[in-house]
Amino acid sequence: MATQKRGLLKSPVFWTVAYIVLILLFNDFWWWNTYEPLIFGWVPVWLFWEWVLHLVFWIGIFYYTYKVWPEPPAEYRVDRQTPS
């Protein structure tokens, strides 16, 4: 069995660690009971932090599913033929 050299972004360990770090960052205890500074003049900093983390989380999910997700084994593939 030949071994393939995989890049860092295709490593399951990288994605596991990255999502554990993101989950830990969602618990932003350092901004509890903080109402200032306001981002854009009306968004509390803790809410802006949540938005940024959600954006990073979803970009990571989309990247993983389109670029890293492995192809299904041949026995599970469905040959889709277009109707003529």
One pLDDT digit (tens) per residue for the chain, 84 residues: 444 556 776 777 887 888 888 888 878 777 777 777 787 888 888 888 888 888 988 888 888 787 777 776 667 767 666 665
Q: What are phi and psi of 17, to 5 degrees?
A: -65, -40
Beta-carbon contacts of residue 50 (< 8 Å; ≥ 6 apart) = 26, 28
User: What is d(CA 23, CA 45) in angstroms, rounded to the nearest whole number?
Assistant: 18
pTM score, two decimals? Answer: 0.60
Q: What confidence score (pLDDT) does residue 2 get?
A: 42
Q: What confidence score (pLDDT) does residue 81 get?
A: 66
The answer to whether 67 and 59 have CB atoms below 8 angstroms apart is no
Q: What confidence score (pLDDT) does residue 30 get?
A: 73
